[in-house]
Structure 1
Amino acid sequence: MAHDDDPTRDSAPDLQILGDQITLQPRSYVEPPRVQDGGKEEALMQHMARFRSEPLQFLREVSLYVSGTGWRAYDKVIGQPIFYSGFSEQMRNAVVSAPLLQTRISQLADMRLAVEEEEGWFRKHDPNYANKKAQRRSVIEHGLQEVAEKLTNDMICKFESKTFIRGAYYLCTQLLTRAYHQGIHVSSEEVLRLRKVAEEAAAKKQSIIFLPSHRSHVDYVSMQLICYRLGLALPVVVAGDNLNFPVVGSFLQHAGAMWIRRSFGNDSLYTTLVQAYIDTLLQSGYNFECFIEGGRSRTGKLLSPKFGILSFIMDSVLSGRVEDAIICPVSTQYDKVIETEGYVTELLGVPKKKENLADFLSGGSSVLSLKLGRVDVRFHEPWSLRRYIDEQLTKLTKVPDDLTARTPESAAVRQKLLRTMGYKVLADINDVSVVMPTALIGTVLLTLRGRGVGKPELLRRVEWLTNRVRAKGGRVAHFGNAPLSEVVERGLDVLGKDLVGVVQGLPEPTYYAVDRFQLSFYRNMTIHLFISEALVSASIYTRVKQGGGPANQEIPYNELRDQVLFLSSLFRGEFIFPSDGLAVNLEKTVVGLENDRILTLKRDGDGKIVAVGLSDEERMAGRENYDFYCFLIWPFIEASWLAAISLMGLAPPLGVATDDAWIGVAKAQNSAQLLGKTLYHQGDLSYFEAVNKETLKNSYQRFEEEGIIYAVKSKDGKTPPRLRLSSEWMPSRDPKTGDVLAEGRLWDFAGRIASSRREGKNRRDGATVSTRVIRLADILGRKLFAEASAPGGKVDRRLSSEEALRVKKEVKAERRRRKLEGRAHL
């Protein structure tokens, strides 16, 4: 934990990039003196002109960018040369001639020849057998080579023209800084450090691999603008081919994008091609960028790491084809994210609309009129991938000689390396992230018991939260010497009346959350700082919700530890936890809450904690601080509870064999979401954001990891993934009525989640859950089974013998792995 007097904790916005203006600010920022020109900060360059107000100046600036004058020439950049004629052709030739790819083409040709020979295309007793086979091999290899060249040309980034990139920089800067009218902010200290690392990497011909968080399409635009403006070689950016639509796709490809498929399937040629391209980039020392989370976060918090591209990078180094690469985690934060409204519709189950040029142009024009505040980009201290791998390998007791070999032992070690690396990058991103005013406001508004809050109370809670963020080692965005009231007012303006409303005509203005679902995106930007406190508070709530005097609401320390362990295991794929281990982290957390006078701890004669309860000061304050931590985690607890309850409906109806009870994964999750919407409107669910698709999907994934459900994916790609309940967790049905019974292991599991769930008027006893809620889950479950068994049903309830055998092996392997890893069982 950082010390409160650490001067670097709040040194975030040292450098402001706003259009053509860059302003350096000292670490301890002071308001610039007011001068006769209106008090503008001293800028290195003047603001960009606008066509409507200054058409001649606007055209002059455009010509300066395109022709390249001063820094606009983008000369003498740090890194390998990229913008020259013939770059794309040279890269394409290097990729298609890579030994790795040529070996794969030869292997695929052998496999095809073996199939054709088995089908009778060649006969060994034929005198021309060898000649025909050689000719056929040549035809097959030539065809595969042509396919590889076409795929390579479609995929690779095409840095070619400095004139183009100057114009692209100007266009993107105009668009971005009109939407984010307060510009892009970075830390000058971090930039200087990054430039020094880039110089060393360029001398060694090593690549810098930028691994940013991903909340918006603006992420890669802002990264490219920063690298361009600061004289760093632009990175090649991994992008999904869903953005490769006419006109825009070509523009992005020439500005830094490399296109890859969203799914590789079993296409070994394409997989090898991607590996060969990444090898070529890293061998040549070109900078590289991919998003550690895979896709954009629709919830505001960091997602679990995706290991697809990371596995290619890791393989490049482990194989020795690449000596080393430099990893640079990056955090990008926004006052307001452009896409949040679209995220809400997706999370509520509306299918994602395919990108197209018309929407891009209409969206771009509307963005110009927005006032979204600013973008804050932070760079963690870069580190050597080779050194990191070596350090991790020394911690393992047994390491295979060849980590690239296709053996279970090598695969297990590689997977462990990938997993630890992925979560290290996420932790590094969180470490340098800056909390924006909009996140502070959103968090406060969604962690209050009342409908709204007065302006003085809002300011007090924002100030309290700011201090808590800093005490936890987090960073809060700078706003010079501006008073807190001005910062909050600015944040409210950015959020707008569609998110935060205000009731006037009262003794004091009263603010309230208009769109709680969308506002939760900003609340989730702070939750990583307080996840330990939130889990402890929710675990204590199992006693607090029982009411009675202080003694009745105390919880034994052992019981507290068990519930924290349960919740931590439940949310293992949802949050990033401290790496100290449960025992150390739990004690550190409760002692910290004791020091904050939120909890009181009872200790025995040896000083060991034996019981935990709320402090008298916290009770006198109306539990406002304790409730804050509970409110942070309650929506996620409700989502997990909803997912668990929805599984009760997956018990097969009477007459359907358990082994035939396979339901489409997407259909089951959609059904759970529909159940959640029903329960919310009927009062059995407190938080509408608990029905969001991502959290339910994460819960189902977690249940699969723990063997509560089994899932199978078909190899043909046409049949959607299916799931069924494990027989060990299968609820019983009444033999007479056929109704699902509120009993059994799954019922007890849902009840344990519910013990930390926020109390409500309709839920003071378990009657509504055991009757109405289970009945609704059963109704929706029966509907799923009816659809699956109907003629022409899209989901086959039966598995093929091959699929059944594969499921059996996977279940057995998963159980063994959980046992070896000593995982906490839910």
Structure 2
Amino acid sequence: MAQDDDPTRDSAPDLQILGDQITLQPRSYVEARRNDDQEPLMHNMARFRSEPLQFLREVSLYVSGTGWRAYDSVIGQPIFYSGFSEQMRNAVVSAPLLQTRISQLADRRLEIEEKEGWLKREDKDFVTKKAQRRAIIESSIQEAAEKMTNDMICKFESKTFIRGAYYLVTQLLTRAYHQGIHVSSEEVLRLRKVAEVAEKKKQSIIFLPSHRSHVDYVSMQLICYRLGLALPVVVAGDNLNFPVVGSFLQHAGAMWIRRSFGNDALYTTLVQAYIDTLLQGGYNFECFIEGGRSRTGKLLPPKFGILSFILDSLLSGRVKDAIICPVSTQYDKVIETEGYVTELLGVPKKKENLADFLSGGSSVLSLKLGRVDVRFHEPWSLRGYIDEQLTKLTPSPAALRLDLKTPESAAIKQKLLRTMGYKVLSDINNVSVVMPTALIGTVLLTLRGRGVGKSELMRRIEWLIARVGAKGGRVAHFGNAPLSDVVERGLDVLGKDLVGVVQGLAEPTYYAVDRFQLSFYRNMTIHLFITEALVSASIYTRVKLGGGPAHQEISYDALRDQVLFLSSLFRGEFIFPGDGLVVNLEKTLVGLEDDHILELKRNEKGKILSIGLADEERAAGRENYDFYCFLIWPFIESSWLAAVSLMGLTPPLEQNDDIWIEVAKAQNTAQLLGKTLYHQGDLSYFEAVNKETLKNSYQRFEEEGIIYVVKSKDSKVPPRLRLASEWRPTRDPEKDGALQPSGKLWNFIERIASSRREGKNRRDGATVSTRVLRLADELGSRLFEDATHPESKADAKLSDEEAANVKRAVRAERRRRRLEGRAHL
């Protein structure tokens, strides 16, 4: 058939949507499929140079709004009509919640003016003057609120604009990701049905996607447009609101919010009023559960800011219900990974601007980054979830007044937020697919030796695919294309800057060129195997000792204690299964036994007594056991590095006062220590100096009371920290105050080290402790010098108010941990 006679030419090349029917088209990037439930959403579009007439034809179809491009009869509340923004702005600024806040702020201002003598009660016309002054204050606050609202709200005004925006963005995206956006037809059919019900009930669908790239929200908008769903309003940081681009994004769905609200009560209430208005109107909504983009490839812990507003809308009764839809977005290759590496190595993030955006956009046109896979978890009712959780949390949920601000309601709300956040992350992991590039990166970084032959690479990828399937995960599939072709395609997408190949040998041999950047793709699989990795690293405490199989066995109790320690250490780093430690441990051990990796010795009642490596695994050179260890070792190494850096926070002998160190400087010093130790051979993994992982470790140390952190009300004063007195190591006065490798902190470091990968430079523990401690102490002494320097930006000592706040925070944190029954480090 001639190209011009092809009936699919003027409709969706891969997914045709007609009313309630979704028809899968035969044209696609991939060949015939094992099953037809996943299809690419968009095909490459005509280019001006190669197909000028077809290009102009496509543009005219979008401008005229022909067929599905008209974006008519969408499922959801009406958007893209003249006057939408004004209607939304009026609804927000007239919201009772906001008007009450304006009245409260006016009252506070009047109280201040009375105290300062601007208004005097003894004046005969005091009441009149006060009323007039109140009117002026309320008017100025109202005017400020209207301006902030106008700057913040999304402006869905013009269908012509959104058609053109869709065409422009699709042109860019399908050239960078030349194999399109892929979705599951089963999932999008389900989503459309949910959207139809939500439209009738005037309920919002709240999309909560993972966040690895700026492409996340672009792909989400494209999918909703192409599926005929009302576009969601997307929460976006105002750092992207720069000239031209900011206005474009605001009209395409962006809602601008500040990166930090501080103590601005008006702005906080304004955001709540806007979210209330959106959810009351049944408008779709999107925010990123992780807050910012993940620079490491794995999911970040949930951020509760916007979730808190959403939850408050329902708990207060201002909104009846909303639908939650967790979304996973996976990439063959993420555009920003090179920039992420420089950030994680300590280079300050560059502020977004129009010049960089335009130059970046032009370079995107020449990229070949493979495909994007977007998966939608089954949506669920937020009201139903809240009711279910409240039944678990309290014996009489109906009697609770969560709309009132009491300590009890605040504690319950925090528990709801936390459980909801981690449920969403778990849902995202459950529907995520593993891309070929993630398989390749994982295998290359979990093998011993400099490189791997092609046949061995294929064998290990086949093993990994089987393990992903056994763990309930999904691998992005490519129909009947042989695995060798899929791997070749993945290698091409990663490129020679990440994976090199040595030719002229008996077989092509591949090696990791940039291990740091490649770790981003390895981390996309780690959530599937985190329990196996923790168990393997815990067993390694015995395996690393060497000797015969009996000598390398570990008792069940010792294993459980070390797994508990490591899982607590990484509580903020990974998303664990929600069944609890004992259940997860038993399940993992049995699974590893079934895979012939571990041998379990039981008593006559079937209770596990001890664990060791299986004979089959030893015969295979420990390759599968090592795989799990290699996954977790870089993170263990990073935690060890962060803990070692704390030794340097021990005050010098002559320092009697409590000196507080800037948090950012302490973390930068930990990173410098890590880089030095890596190049001196005391650190196995350069990924261990990852700024994000070090920051997470410091956060855990703060939660456990190992360090205290104080934040000033003055935004110009950076957060400061000091080592808790009970964790401070001692100094030897007879050896110039040298740090001694003993005490609570050193024992903590040694416990982390017991699961570290053994290295040739670390066999002599005494030598290492001397060398590493000396270096940590030298770097730490510079921190104390900087802190006490007259030109230091932050005061090295706390005010009385700050000291009192620290004491209260420490007591509250200890009480909270005790009540929650958390595992302690």
TM-score between the two structures when normalised by the length of structure 2: 0.95
Task: Show the counterpart of 1:403.
Answer: 402
Does 1:121 find its partner at 2:118?
yes
- Code of the aligned partner of 2:13: Q
**Can you list the C-alpha shifts for 1:129-155, whole angstroms capped at 9, x where unaligned?**
111111111111111001000000000
Once the two structures are superposed, the pairs formed by residues 363-382 of structure 1 within 5 Å of their partners are 363-382=360-379
Does 1:240 find its partner at 2:234?
no
The whole-number CA distance in structure 1 between the counterparts of 2:589 and 2:98 is 55
- Structure 1 residue 32: Cα displacement: 5.5
- Structure 1 residue 576: Cα displacement: 0.7
**Can you list the C-alpha shifts for 1:159-212, whole angstroms capped at 9, x where unaligned?**
000000000000000000000000000000000000000000000000000000
- Structure 1 residue 791: Cα displacement: 1.1
The whole-number CA distance in structure 1 between the counterparts of 2:577 and 2:785 is 45
- Code of the aligned partner of 1:506: L
**Can you list the C-alpha shifts for 1:768-807, whole angstroms capped at 9, x where unaligned?**
3311101111011100010010111122111111111011
Task: Show the counterpart of 2:19.
Answer: none
**Given the superposition, is the C-alpha separation of residues 617 and 25 from structure 1 closer, same or farther in structure 2, using an over 3 Å criterion?**
farther
Task: Show the counterpart of 1:571.
Answer: 570
Task: Show the counterpart of 2:257.
Answer: 260
- Code of the aligned partner of 1:359: D
Once the two structures are superposed, the pairs formed by residues 596-607 of structure 1 within 5 Å of their partners are 596-607=595-606
- Code of the aligned partner of 1:154: D
Where 1:644 maps in the other structure, the secondary structure is helix
The whole-number CA distance in structure 1 between the counterparts of 2:542 and 2:533 is 15
Task: Show the counterpart of 2:3.
Answer: none
Task: Show the counterpart of 1:524.
Answer: 523
Preserved CA contact (<8 Å) 2:313 2:319: yes
The whole-number CA distance in structure 2 between the counterparts of 1:511 and 1:295 is 33
Preserved CA contact (<8 Å) 2:710 2:721: yes
Preserved CA contact (<8 Å) 1:19 1:183: no
The whole-number CA distance in structure 1 between the counterparts of 2:42 and 2:718 is 56
Preserved CA contact (<8 Å) 1:18 1:184: no
Task: Show the counterpart of 2:499.
Answer: 500
Match of 1:339 among 322, 336, 340: 336
Task: Show the counterpart of 1:204.
Answer: 201
The whole-number CA distance in structure 1 between the counterparts of 2:685 and 2:789 is 35
Where 1:460 maps in the other structure, the secondary structure is helix
Where 2:732 maps in the other structure, the secondary structure is coil
- Structure 1 residue 735: Cα displacement: 2.2
Task: Show the counterpart of 1:69.
Answer: 66
Q: How many residues align?
A: 803
Once the two structures are superposed, the pairs formed by residues 260-299 of structure 1 within 5 Å of their partners are 260-299=257-296
- Structure 1 residue 307: Cα displacement: 0.2
- Structure 1 residue 661: Cα displacement: 1.9
Task: Show the counterpart of 2:443.
Answer: 444
Where 2:242 maps in the other structure, the secondary structure is coil
Task: Show the counterpart of 1:37.
Answer: none
Task: Show the counterpart of 1:542.
Answer: 541
**Given the superposition, is the C-alpha separation of residues 433 and 731 from structure 1 closer, same or farther in structure 2, using an over 3 Å criterion?**
same
Task: Show the counterpart of 1:689.
Answer: 687
The whole-number CA distance in structure 2 between the counterparts of 1:179 and 1:265 is 38
Preserved CA contact (<8 Å) 2:44 2:174: no
Preserved CA contact (<8 Å) 1:17 1:183: no
Preserved CA contact (<8 Å) 1:501 1:513: yes
**Given the superposition, is the C-alpha separation of residues 386 and 764 from structure 1 closer, same or farther in structure 2, using an over 3 Å criterion?**
same
Task: Show the counterpart of 2:670.
Answer: 672
Task: Show the counterpart of 1:762.
Answer: 761
- Structure 1 residue 30: Cα displacement: 13
Which deviates more from structure 2 when the two are superposed, residues 716-725 or residues 69-78? Answer: 716-725
Where 1:237 maps in the other structure, the secondary structure is strand
Where 1:21 maps in the other structure, the secondary structure is coil
- Code of the aligned partner of 2:221: Q
Match of 1:733 among 721, 731, 734: 731
**Given the superposition, is the C-alpha separation of residues 46 and 622 from structure 1 closer, same or farther in structure 2, using an over 3 Å criterion?**
closer
**Given the superposition, is the C-alpha separation of residues 632 and 278 from structure 1 closer, same or farther in structure 2, using an over 3 Å criterion?**
same
Where 1:80 maps in the other structure, the secondary structure is coil
Does 1:22 find its partner at 2:11?
no
**Given the superposition, is the C-alpha separation of residues 43 and 779 from structure 1 closer, same or farther in structure 2, using an over 3 Å criterion?**
closer
Which deviates more from structure 2 when the two are superposed, residues 49-58 or residues 130-139? Answer: 49-58
Does 1:169 find its partner at 2:161?
no
The whole-number CA distance in structure 2 between the counterparts of 1:280 and 1:371 is 41
Preserved CA contact (<8 Å) 1:19 1:48: no
Preserved CA contact (<8 Å) 2:276 2:313: yes
**Given the superposition, is the C-alpha separation of residues 452 and 253 from structure 1 closer, same or farther in structure 2, using an over 3 Å criterion?**
same
- Code of the aligned partner of 1:579: G
Once the two structures are superposed, the pairs formed by residues 360-759 of structure 1 within 5 Å of their partners are 360-397=357-394, 401-657=400-656, 660-736=658-734, 737-759=736-758
Preserved CA contact (<8 Å) 1:663 1:797: yes
Preserved CA contact (<8 Å) 1:19 1:174: no
Does 1:99 find its partner at 2:96?
yes
Task: Show the counterpart of 1:38.
Answer: none
Task: Show the counterpart of 2:5.
Answer: none
- Structure 1 residue 406: Cα displacement: 1.8
Preserved CA contact (<8 Å) 1:30 1:480: no
**Given the superposition, is the C-alpha separation of residues 45 and 375 from structure 1 closer, same or farther in structure 2, using an over 3 Å criterion?**
closer
Preserved CA contact (<8 Å) 1:447 1:632: yes
- Structure 1 residue 123: Cα displacement: 1.1
Identity %: 83
Does 1:181 find its partner at 2:178?
yes
Preserved CA contact (<8 Å) 2:328 2:374: yes
**Can you list the C-alpha shifts for 1:31-54, whole angstroms capped at 9, x where unaligned?**
8679xxxxxx99999852211122
The whole-number CA distance in structure 2 between the counterparts of 1:563 and 1:360 is 48
Preserved CA contact (<8 Å) 2:235 2:254: yes
**Can you list the C-alpha shifts for 1:298-331, whole angstroms capped at 9, x where unaligned?**
0000000000000000000000000000000000
The whole-number CA distance in structure 1 between the counterparts of 2:12 and 2:168 is 12
The whole-number CA distance in structure 2 between the counterparts of 1:85 and 1:824 is 56
Where 1:395 maps in the other structure, the secondary structure is helix
The whole-number CA distance in structure 2 between the counterparts of 1:521 and 1:33 is 31
Which deviates more from structure 2 when the two are superposed, residues 710-719 or residues 203-212? Answer: 710-719
Preserved CA contact (<8 Å) 1:19 1:173: no
The whole-number CA distance in structure 2 between the counterparts of 1:757 and 1:375 is 35
The whole-number CA distance in structure 2 between the counterparts of 1:762 and 1:350 is 29
Preserved CA contact (<8 Å) 2:29 2:40: no
- Code of the aligned partner of 2:284: N
Where 2:780 maps in the other structure, the secondary structure is helix
Task: Show the counterpart of 2:153.
Answer: 156
The whole-number CA distance in structure 2 between the counterparts of 1:42 and 1:819 is 50
Task: Show the counterpart of 1:11.
Answer: none
Preserved CA contact (<8 Å) 1:191 1:379: yes
The whole-number CA distance in structure 1 between the counterparts of 2:314 and 2:94 is 20
The whole-number CA distance in structure 1 between the counterparts of 2:741 and 2:165 is 61
**Given the superposition, is the C-alpha separation of residues 33 and 314 from structure 1 closer, same or farther in structure 2, using an over 3 Å criterion?**
closer
The whole-number CA distance in structure 2 between the counterparts of 1:688 and 1:352 is 20
- Code of the aligned partner of 2:88: M
Preserved CA contact (<8 Å) 1:639 1:696: yes
**Can you list the C-alpha shifts for 1:680-726, whole angstroms capped at 9, x where unaligned?**
00000000000001000000000111110111110121110111111
Q: For structure 1, which runs of at least 5 residues remain unmatched after alignment? A: 1-15, 35-40
The whole-number CA distance in structure 1 between the counterparts of 2:381 and 2:686 is 43
Preserved CA contact (<8 Å) 2:41 2:183: no
**Given the superposition, is the C-alpha separation of residues 45 and 107 from structure 1 closer, same or farther in structure 2, using an over 3 Å criterion?**
closer
- Code of the aligned partner of 1:464: W
**Given the superposition, is the C-alpha separation of residues 32 and 148 from structure 1 closer, same or farther in structure 2, using an over 3 Å criterion?**
same
Task: Show the counterpart of 1:353.
Answer: 350
Where 2:14 maps in the other structure, the secondary structure is strand
The whole-number CA distance in structure 2 between the counterparts of 1:18 and 1:533 is 50
Preserved CA contact (<8 Å) 1:602 1:611: yes
**Can you list the C-alpha shifts for 1:49-89, whole angstroms capped at 9, x where unaligned?**
21112223212221210120111100000000011000000
- Code of the aligned partner of 1:718: K
Where 2:374 maps in the other structure, the secondary structure is strand
Where 1:333 maps in the other structure, the secondary structure is strand
Which deviates more from structure 2 when the two are superposed, residues 742-751 or residues 56-65? Answer: 56-65
Preserved CA contact (<8 Å) 1:20 1:47: no
